[in-house]
Amino acid sequence: MAIHLLPPHISRLIAAGEVVSRPLDVVRELVENALDAGATRLEVEVEGGGLALVRVRDNGAGIPADSVALAPVRHATSKLEPEAAAVERVSTLGFRGEALWAAAQAGELHLVTRPAAQVGASEVHASGEAVTVRRTSAPAGTTVTVRHLFARLPARLRTQALPAVEVREITALVGRYVLHHPGLHWRLTVDGEARLTHAPADHRGAVASVYGPLSANRVLRVEAQTTGGLGVRGVVSRPELTRARRDRMHFSVNGRPILAPLELEKAVIEGFAELLPSGVAPLCVLDLAVAPEDHNPNVHPAKQVVALADLPGVAARVRAAVAEALAQHPLARAAPALL
Ligand code: ADP
Ligand code: MG
């Protein structure tokens, strides 16, 4: 075949598939939008493994009627000043203006939104190239629904995980957001059944919501604010609560759950020194606050990988914060519990 330009409706589908390749991506993007909107209440609904429906309802800032038509337009965002330098200091979770666009290409997007100070609400329907906007009435906040994901992309549809597998990962993802944003109301409903509910609490309360009270009763608070603007807050498990895998070691950078670099996991384990038998891992939830210019989330499509300007420095702070938390608490050695 000779080189030729793909028609826009095909190239759009391919590009959208990069941003949204599975229902989990839709959940992540919609949750991040709700967090960026300052929501204190987030309800996530999933049906059919997310392929039939993903819905996120929030009580955040909403989208003003005069710009709502831009919401599903590619590269349209309210979060970045239109200058190149702004990318270097993003403080929001989103900034690319692609998620709603991609969701509308890959499925059917329905959005109802109202800023608290606005009288009427707006309703947007977007599916492929067709976008309609209507006025309606609704409570303050935003509800975004994505239905029939990949119905127009049979090849994508064929490579999707089984619904049960996707639901497991979505549940884990929402759990990570709960752990890192424990001061909010959260609810995850799967096929009409509540999977996870969380009322505002501290990190320990979030551990209780996600992993149960047994784990929550065995964590210590970590709190270290350093002069360089680097903060470390959260919880680590006491030495008697360990796991064979590192699957309960959670880190966020400026509110974004990240796939932690090995150096951070190691730093936590080193913070335990000889208190932790070798080969086991603690549970931890650590929120790192770094200056926006000291990290770059723009290195991965899902933004789960962030480049930290001074990873060794951050790791050293984490190690010290964990060591300090352990030193401040009498380590009542309860019966070992391998969860
Ligand atoms: P981005 O988050 O990168 O800006 P999105 O495609 O996710 O791009 O969203 C486009 C825009 O729509 C956002 O910049 C924001 O202004 C608005 N928006 C999306 N979701 C919400 C929401 N839940 N509440 C308020 N505004 C929203
Ligand atoms: Mg977004």
**Contacts of 64-67 spanning 24+ positions with Cβ under 8 A:** 64/115, 64/118, 65/118, 65/120, 65/122, 65/135
Per-residue pLDDT tens over the stretch 93-118: 877 788 999 999 999 999 999 999 99
According to the model, what pLDDT value does residue 302 have?
Answer: 64
Per-residue pLDDT tens over the stretch 307-319: 888 899 999 999 9
Does the pLDDT at position 135 exceed 60? Answer: yes
Last residue of a domain, one of 147, 175, 198: 198
Q: Specify whether the CB–CB gap between 235 and 220 falls below 8 A.
A: yes
Q: Which domain holds residue 265?
A: 213-331
Ligand 1 atom at shortest distance from the alpha carbon of 80: 4
Neighbouring-strand partners of residue 223 = 233
Average pLDDT of the residues in 273-298: 87
CATH of the domain at 57: 3.30.565.10
Does the pLDDT at position 336 exceed 60? Answer: no
Name the residue at shortest CA distance from atom 7 of ligand 1: 99
My answer on whether 194 and 227 are in the same domain is: no
According to the model, what pLDDT value does residue 4 have?
Answer: 84
| CA of residue 95 to ligand 2 center, whole Å | 6
According to the model, what pLDDT value does residue 334 have?
Answer: 46
Mean pLDDT of the chain, nearest integer: 90
My answer on whether 186 and 65 are in the same domain is: yes
Per-residue pLDDT tens over the stretch 27-65: 999 999 999 999 999 999 999 999 999 999 999 999 999
Distance CA 37, CA 31 (A): 10
Ligand 1 test: best mutation among 44, 68, 77, 177, most atoms within 8 Å of CB? Answer: 77
Q: Which residue has the tokens 């950078």?
A: 253
CATH of the domain at 243: 3.30.230.10
| CA of residue 30 to ligand 2 center, whole Å | 7
- Number of domains observed in the structure of the chain: 2
Ligand 1 atom at shortest distance from the alpha carbon of 100: 6
Does the pLDDT at position 119 exceed 50? Answer: yes
Q: Is the CB of 99 under 6 A from ligand 1?
A: yes
**Sign for the pseudo-dihedral over CA of 58, 64, 67, 68:** positive
Q: How many residues in the chain?
A: 339
Query: Which residues place a Cβ less than 5 A from the ion ligand 2?
Result: 33, 94, 99
Last residue of a domain, one of 174, 198, 222: 198
According to the model, what pLDDT value does residue 54 have?
Answer: 98
Per-residue pLDDT tens over the stretch 219-244: 999 998 766 678 999 999 999 888 99
Last residue of a domain, one of 198, 231, 246: 198
My answer on whether 234 and 160 are in the same domain is: no
Nearest ligand to the C-alpha of residue 37?
1
Q: pTM for this structure?
A: 0.91
From residue 323, give the alpha-carbon distance in Å to each of 6, 253, 266, 273, 298. Answer: 57, 20, 13, 8, 31
**Hey, how many other C-beta atoms are within 10 angstroms of the C-beta on 17?**
18
Asked, for residue 162, whether it belongs to a domain, the answer is yes
Residue 92 makes CB contacts below 8 A (sequence gap 6+) with 36, 79
| CA of residue 269 to ligand 2 center, whole Å | 34
Q: Is the CB of 34 under 6 A from ligand 1?
A: yes
| CA of residue 162 to ligand 2 center, whole Å | 26
| CA of residue 94 to ligand 2 center, whole Å | 4
Distance CA 62, CA 320 (A): 41
My answer on whether 119 and 188 are in the same domain is: yes
Residue 293 identity (one-letter amino acid): E
Asked, for residue 37, whether it belongs to a domain, the answer is yes
Asked, for residue 206, whether it belongs to a domain, the answer is no
Q: Is the CB of 37 under 6 A from ligand 1?
A: yes
Average pLDDT of the residues in 72-95: 77
DSSP string, 191-245: TTEEEEEE-S--HHHHHHHHH-HHHHTTEEEEEEE-TTS-EEEEEEE-TTEEESS
Average pLDDT of the residues in 198-223: 96
Average pLDDT of the residues in 195-220: 97
Report which of residues 334 and 281 the model is more confident about: 281
